[in-house]
Structure 1
């Protein structure tokens, strides 16, 4: 099996079988030989051993077993950041001490996702807030792309988890909105149109949960505009029309217009992808 196939299969399997994937990872560090491969391996280790298993020590040990490429600073940084993230997750207060400011921001943003996945919401909010404050000014340099990605991914994950809470405090609602807004801001700097339109979708959802209907409609419209401008596939268009319909449920004509458009798009979505659309379809048919 090639390295790329190994990683692709592991990501596909880890949600339902995190222990099985962890075992595969623990016996395969030798597969990562290049800088890009090591970076991909560290991301998967951090996600599986951190978010899914909270097995900090085993994850750290596995990271330390990865090859050290002396002339590949990106690979060395990836190992350092992932190790610090798992150490921070287990409660090591000095985990960030040896990192650069950029690495500290990535670590804090990634740790926020670990805490959110474990429903440690106060810790997740605090970690993400620290990430935003730890490196507030960006100059647009290429080496900052991983920071933007970490803040975008962390913000999206935190917003999503907070949206799902049946009872949110005022602090949690504010954190949800900040996370969704920050995810959009940083995907605009580091992602493609696809990540940006999905961030608009997330912002719409967060605004709806916060009771901010007008802002939700604006975000949903921007989501649909981006899809239209980029000839998005039916899968993306379904979600854009669906969330715009849901945001306008109190306006019958607008709701029915976008509900009908979403259904048309759904008919064009490949059969093996349609299960992802079930939650929105249920909302549209209430």
Structure 2
């Protein structure tokens, strides 16, 4: 197995010939570097699902119309109207952080790459936390973030209905809402395996800081995003057909850039969650603090950002 640092700045490592990696080597590299580029990894659905399963339990894609046919865990994404899920995510986020238990890892492969635009950016939440001044770091260690996800989803669905852009059936909308709640979680968490501390952020679903005025909370979150997404902490991945990326949702945020007008981008994604009965985070993650999330009504959200 041969590894090289990814070009430019930010998190990540390129792993050539990953099939030759000793057992557990990819896991160790992922927890250390946050993002792995696996250019020669097999891209058939079975191999990609097995890769995700080596980290956790592959999640079933919902709604069913976004699945690769015959592959319940593989999500088809594109900027082509009517082909799979809309390739949104053009804001800083971790996959699945609209639910309390964010997926552990994401596997993404590219089937059609634009020749202009369409890059994915990755920002290091650990480096951003480490770089905070000591007083600010201590302050953030004691704060929660409000994720009013059900309220946001209800707003989005009302907007989609009014604009006649609804893509889910009523039954699918009800199921989606039933899976969502408003919750709070600490703004800092220790990694479930390494114990390294990182910020917990999401530009769309994280709306407030309980105990702070909306203005104070917004200023603090803007400061944290600015620290995490500094150019020297961001890796910019330009996609080629056949690329496979694997990333750790506890360590990095990512953000998709739009493809240039008229260019197509088609990808397939698998997310893996913690297996039932397996502790997600190390004990004593935040001494004397509540657990990683608490379901309770969050404060009224700020005006909604553009829908993902």
* TM-score after normalising by structure 1: 0.30
Structure with the higher fraction of residues in helix conformation? 1
Structure with the higher fraction of residues in strand conformation? 2
* TM-score after normalising by structure 2: 0.28
- Structure with the greater relative contact order (CA < 8 A, sep ≥ 6): 1 or 2? 2
